[in-house]
Amino acid sequence: MGGYEDSWKVYPDPNRDLWLRLSEAAPADDAPGRRAFAEQAGLRNGQGRPIHKVCQTCTLVPLTSVGKIRTPARPLSQAIAAFDRAAYASRLAEAKSEIAQVVQDFPLDAWPTMPLERYALGTDVFRESFSYRMEYGTRTLCDIRGRSAGKNIIYWSKKHGAWKYPAEYSDEVDA
């Protein structure tokens, strides 16, 4: 067992039971305690679930071999050093342009008095809204399109003829 960074220590595990020894270091009196310890320590089985008890077939496996869990191919410090900023210069310039346009069209000092129609999806002028801009008008900066308009906290539902928002808010103004 070890880490990717050069300064990390590698721990030999000739008997392939280091996971067991680490798990046994957790409180033995309750499965939830061991489960929490395994979760915190990153001790996972072949299905990616925390190891919290001894089994005859368990073995510690590299995370790269567990389902969809993937570890980086190299240390972050090396990836940053190898990153070619020039190759992304045009995308960065486009993203900065999108930011400038959003800030111009939706300045922070206007937010406290911004009408809901200027913020929310679902209204007759939704294509001019902040939520629409974030979903469809800033593709280089971000792309949150699709699924439910609920991700924007509040939206107008034509089907129900009402504002929709999470139940913890008292009304559309609160939301």
Whether the pLDDT of residue 61 is over 50: the answer is: no
Whether the pLDDT of residue 142 is over 70: the answer is: yes
pTM: 0.50
Structural domain spans, the chain: 18-80, 87-164
Q: Are residues 19 and 59 in contact, defined by beta-carbon separation less than 8 angstroms?
A: yes
Q: Are residues 25 and 51 in contact, defined by beta-carbon separation less than 8 angstroms?
A: no
Residues above pLDDT 90, as percent of the chain: 9
pLDDT at 97: 92
Q: Are strands 162-164 and 155-157 parallel, antiparallel or unpaired?
A: antiparallel
pLDDT at 2: 44
Among 22-31, 51-60, 88-97, the range with the most confident prediction by mean pLDDT is 88-97
Contacts of 148 (CB under 8 A, 6+ apart): none
